[in-house]
Structure 1
Amino acid sequence: MQKPLAYRMRPTTIDDIVGQQHLVGEGKIIRRMVEANMLSSMILYGPPGTGKTSIASAIAGSTHYAFRMLNAATDTKKDLQVVVEEAKMSGTVILLLDEVHRLDKPKQDFLLPHLENGRIVMIGATTENPYIAINPAIRSRTQIFEVKPLTEEDIEIAVNRALQDTTNGLGELNVKIDEEALIHLTRATNGDLRSALNGLELASKSTKPDEDGSIHLTLNILEECIQKKAFSHDKDGDAHYDVISAFQKSIRGSDVDAALHYLARLIEAGELLIACRRLLVIAYEDIGLANPGACSRTVSAVQAAEKLGLPEARIPLAQTVIDLCLSPKSNSSYLGIDQALADIRQGNIGEVPDHLRDSHYQGAEKLGRGVSYKYPHDFPGGWVKQSYLPEKIKHKTYYLPKETGKYEKGLAQRLQQIKNAKK
């Protein structure tokens, strides 16, 4: 039985890796290790199908070391002994140890000395957070690298490569794929290249050839083969931007049900990254100083969603949508910085006052730099009356508080106190 397409298309050198340029790009850590032939044991963690095994096999192919694969949960200590004996006989062996977070203590104790002497270069793969799930004894002997979900562009590169490869891929089948089908394949698999390639192979081998001998893959065929329906959400078309716009406006308008609806459309379209980015924008643009705590919670939820990946990512994102919808709203910081930028771009700037200029160099005092500056911490309440804006725009006001939340009401009161003291 032929091995799956995803297995056959695994990269054989580091240059063949799709995505993960923060690790294998020019000048990045894993590429440096390979080029210097100075490998160290490492743990790769991230969602399924993002290239952990591919990185390990590519490292082995680029360094010409023997490459072996074991599973920490199902393979035994005896299996580890076989790999160690091979390393003793032939030199360094790269061992991909899948589900490394499930390595029990007897296997760990056996493996540790061989990691320390470099005989075994272990590349542990896990979907769990290694700082929580992996024993400190293993962590201390490895470098930890996060493998991130692949982008739609990454998956498209890999799919096209598989369609053209006549040795390991589908090149001999003469497959033609509609653009909308390709978009759906790259998006609906949510950064999981394994799922994308296996879905592509099923579609290609289960579709009858046309009269000219070519295999024509349509959107309907891909929907069936990866079991996810597409809908009108072309990332380059109006529908995509309409959904994002409606998403933000629904949260701004405090409509929980509408906001959850549009979040669901983004999730179903595989737009996790877009949803996360838009929530961050909304938190700071529309909620802002009315509820800074909600902004912080949004950052935490987005980080959790990115770590979890879909489908679990929907849970922290939904919680955040509800939080932001029902929060008091303020765009005062957004308006303030935009007004300040407008002045800068129109040339309405002025000179920095002398007492605020840098005075940390010889001769600054002779130039009057920083001479009359008053250090606020030396005064009661940490405030002292002095000018900060350039003389040309000294009466400008950029921040106008909106008293829609307790926090910004407090800021407004403090601001008024300062203004009264300046009179």
Structure 2
Amino acid sequence: MSASGDLFAAGTPAPLAERLRPHRVDEVVGQQHLLGPGKVLRMAVERKQLHSMILWGPPGVGKTTLARLLAESSGLPFIAISAVLGGVKDIREAVEQARIQGQAVVFVDEVHRFNKAQQDAFLPHVESGLFVFIGATTENPSFEVNAALLSRARVHVLQSLSEDEQRQLLARGAQAMRVALDGPSGDALLAWADGDARRLLNAVEAVAQGGEPITPELVLQVLGSRQRRFDKGGDSFYDQLSAFHKSVRGSDPDAAIYWLVRMLDGGADGKVLSRRMLAIAAEDVGLADPRALQLTVAAAETFERLGSPEGELALAEAALYLAVAPKSNAGYLALKAARALVEADGARPVPLHLRNAPTKLMKQLGAGAEYRYAHDEPDAFAAGQRYLPEGLEAQRFYEPNERGLEAKIAEKLRRLRESNAQAGVG
């Protein structure tokens, strides 16, 4: 735990990102949806009425800086706790320090790393107003922050910096380091930082220290290959996976291949992606094109054998095929409707004519007696025979659409149902 103050010993040069940390809210780059005129945090600063909150956003967008500035603008001491390194002892010390100072802002970085008991330790003090709680997290608070704590804090979503906002930071960094970062060299730094302001300023400092003219080649030489913000287990991954699924469902092959490559490039496991495509083939393509599931199974097996990067081509081909295939969720809806009925309905008996008759007694009781063998009927269809339990004869779960193979399935079902109607079955 640390109170507000210098983070580095006297005489030790602080990193550029720390030296350029804003000292006033007006100096913050980005987050104007929260800090612009009339916006919620701007009004909290102007009125000096700070509320407990969760700052949720990707790395390097200013969560810690914003929390510190909010405390300073409200005239409250700033007490910082790192959930990565801290524990219950640090929480107790923060509570005691807040009691001594009258009131304070207690800032918890990476609050999602605290367990339920640790998060619960803040509740009575937030409730009593002893301190204003500000938590910072890169993870979805709905999943990672206790409901009790979440109900006592407002969630503010911080956004990734736009390209223009990143260029503002780049200009500040270049001025501080007294270097020129225009044109391709600046573009290379922006691409390497991938929207992370802290990473951008650290990169500027790294390439400027050698005193050489900064070129894209120097950026690559000093920093290495481009880094992308991607969390294989967090919201970034699941957001991209969602975008991929919806692009395929929406029949956009270009968007589908883009999101697939974004995830593969970020280090996503191809096996996870192939499993999602198997779900798409079954749920969104369905019987409109049964070959889609077969092709996706083959792609998954190919990737299993070849791995990356060779097996990625099979995943790409499956993604493209799924995107351009005719779509039907009729199978998914049929399963959902049948499940809903089975859960709500009673255990209806199997109709007597459909029951098995392996013994003489079962035959004497009439099991299977009136069953008509479909292969012995015209067109292998026993018109008028019922297969659902009594009372559910008119039930319809599967309603194929008019796309792809399902158009032919729909036409066949219409003919069969007409035959049933002529035989006296609705």
TM bucket normalised to smaller: 0.5 to 0.7
Shift of 1:111: 2.0
Runs of 4+ in 1 over 3 A off after TM superposition: 104-110, 251-255, 258-269, 318-325, 327-330, 402-407
Q: Distance in 1 between matches of 2:91 and 2:61?
A: 26
Shift of 1:8: 2.3
Partner of 2:150: 139
The verdict on how the C-alpha distance between 1:225 and 1:116 changes in structure 2, with shifts beyond 3 A counting, is: farther
Gaps of 5+ in 2: 1-11, 228-246, 267-283, 289-313, 327-401, 411-426
Partner of 1:197: 201
Paired residue for 1:35, among 37, 40, 46? 46
Paired residue for 2:140, among 99, 106, 129? 129
The verdict on how the C-alpha distance between 1:227 and 1:188 changes in structure 2, with shifts beyond 3 A counting, is: same
TM-score of the two chains, using structure 1 as the length reference:
0.53
Q: Distance in 2 between matches of 1:138 and 1:228?
A: 41
Note if 1:226 corresponds to 2:241: no
Residue identity matched to 2:322? L
Q: Deviations over 1:234-275 (max 9, x none)?
A: xxxxxxxxxxxxxx9xx98969xx974897489979xxxxxx
Q: Distance in 2 between matches of 1:159 and 1:267?
A: 29
Partner of 1:326: 322
The verdict on how the C-alpha distance between 1:105 and 1:260 changes in structure 2, with shifts beyond 3 A counting, is: closer
SS of corresponding position for 1:113: helix
Q: Which of these two proteins has the greater Rg computed from alpha carbons?
A: 2
Note if 1:163 corresponds to 2:146: no
Q: Distance in 2 between matches of 1:21 and 1:405?
A: 51
Residue identity matched to 1:8? R
The verdict on how the C-alpha distance between 1:51 and 1:321 changes in structure 2, with shifts beyond 3 A counting, is: farther
Shift of 1:225: 3.2
Q: Distance in 2 between matches of 1:405 and 1:200?
A: 57
Residue identity matched to 1:223? L
Q: Distance in 2 between matches of 1:25 and 1:253?
A: 36
Q: Distance in 2 between matches of 1:159 and 1:9?
A: 11
Q: Distance in 2 between matches of 1:328 and 1:109?
A: 50
Note if 1:176 corresponds to 2:154: no
Q: How does 1:188-267 map to 2 (within 5 A)?
A: 188-205=192-209, 207-208=210-211, 216-228=213-225, 260=257, 264=261
Partner of 1:385: none
Q: Distance in 1 between matches of 2:66 and 2:315?
A: 35
Partner of 1:68: 79
Gaps of 5+ in 1: 165-169, 210-215, 231-247, 270-286, 292-317, 331-401, 411-423
Partner of 1:294: none
Partner of 2:373: none
Residue identity matched to 1:19? G
User: Is contact 2:53–2:156 with CA below 8 Å preserved after alignment?
Assistant: yes
Q: How does 1:16-415 map to 2 (within 5 A)?
A: 16-164=27-175, 170=176, 173-205=177-209, 207-208=210-211, 216-228=213-225, 260=257, 264=261, 322-323=318-319, 325-328=321-324, 406=406
User: Is contact 1:253–1:325 with CA below 8 Å preserved after alignment?
Assistant: no
Residue identity matched to 1:10? R
The verdict on how the C-alpha distance between 1:322 and 1:3 changes in structure 2, with shifts beyond 3 A counting, is: farther
CA RMSD of aligned residues (A): 4.1
The verdict on how the C-alpha distance between 1:6 and 1:321 changes in structure 2, with shifts beyond 3 A counting, is: farther
User: Is contact 2:260–2:316 with CA below 8 Å preserved after alignment?
Assistant: no
Q: Distance in 1 between matches of 2:185 and 2:140?
A: 34
User: Is contact 1:12–1:61 with CA below 8 Å preserved after alignment?
Assistant: no
Residue identity matched to 2:323? S
Q: Distance in 2 between matches of 1:192 and 1:267?
A: 20
User: Is contact 1:259–1:321 with CA below 8 Å preserved after alignment?
Assistant: no
Query: What is the number of equivalent residue pairs in this alignment?
Result: 266
The verdict on how the C-alpha distance between 1:141 and 1:200 changes in structure 2, with shifts beyond 3 A counting, is: same
Q: Deviations over 1:35-64 (max 9, x none)?
A: 121111111122211221121122123223
Residue identity matched to 1:129? N
Q: Deviations over 1:351-408 (max 9, x none)?
A: xxxxxxxxxxxxxxxxxxxxxxxxxxxxxxxxxxxxxxxxxxxxxxxxxxx965858x
The verdict on how the C-alpha distance between 1:71 and 1:265 changes in structure 2, with shifts beyond 3 A counting, is: closer
